[in-house]
Amino acid sequence: MNLNIKRLLVIGLLLIGSLIGVLLLNLNKQKAEQERLRYTIEGELTLDKVAEFEKQLKAHPDINELELRSSIGSGSSAGIIINRMYALIDARQMRTFARGQCASACAFVFLYGYERTLLPPQNTNISTHLMVHAGRSNTTGEINYGETDRDFNKIIARSNGKLNMAFLEKVYDAKNKGGGLYFVRDGEVTVAGREYVFFCTGEELKSKKPCEPYKGIKLEDLGIKIAQ
């Protein structure tokens, strides 16, 4: 092989190696930047976790993303937590992410985000999904329509109307707090095909009937993004 050709090949390989190195460096920088901008809350939402979130926001003014992981929601302080989290998200116009289960108060907090994205689950046995139900009295179990409607109006505003009151009010037909609207990231196979949104009464195990799918509705239609 001609000596000049060999030199050109070596130079070409060096240039390719340099370009790959630059690309990897940029990817690592982007990942580090993303981690710096995103705060993660794992598990049940509690007043202590909200207080820690507030503390971290004050210490790190560049945080503008919130990731919620494997959360069943919160207990008796759900209303207080939802309102405080709404104010924090609203102040910075934060993007929200959910990974794994995100039920009850977690789903409301997620849907308060200015951009809402569902991520793959950490545990493959539990799909990433949201569960939205009506607010209920901790003592009597009765639905709190006024408080729930106020929270729904905030969600509707965030979705730019892609979620609407007529759709969300379906949760009032649930028989208990286990019933409501379910939004499943990867969908579930039904007799009509793969569906992504379901209404459950909360008595499916007892009645041995499946949840009711909303045929043909994609999560993107409701203003919810999907990411890897």
The encoded tokens of residue 13 equal 């390989």
3-state DSSP of 78-133: HHHHHHHHHHHHHHHCCEEEEEEEEECHHHHHHHCCCEEEEECCCCCCCCCEEEEC
Q: What's the CA gap between 71 and 110, in Å, rounded?
A: 11
Lowest mean pLDDT across 5-9, 34-38, 139-143, 177-181: 5-9
Supply the pLDDT for residue 63.
97
Global pTM reads 0.84
Supply the pLDDT for residue 22.
53
Q: Kindly tell me if the per-residue pLDDT of 101 is higher than 70.
A: yes
- Asked whether the beta carbons of 165 and 119 are under 8 A apart, the reply is no
Q: Kindly tell me if the per-residue pLDDT of 4 is higher than 80.
A: no
pLDDT-derived band at 119, boundaries 50, 70, 90: very high
Match 């976790």 to its residue by tokens: 49
Q: Kindly tell me if the per-residue pLDDT of 165 is higher than 80.
A: yes
pLDDT-derived band at 192, boundaries 50, 70, 90: confident
Q: Which domains does the chain have, with CATH numbers?
A: 36-226 (3.90.226)
Q: pLDDT of 23-57, one tens digit each?
A: 545 554 455 455 569 999 999 999 999 999 999 99
Q: pLDDT of 79-91, one tens digit each?
A: 999 999 999 999 9
Lowest mean pLDDT across 1-5, 45-49, 194-198, 209-213: 1-5
Q: What's the CA gap between 84 and 175, in Å, rounded?
A: 28
Supply the pLDDT for residue 123.
78
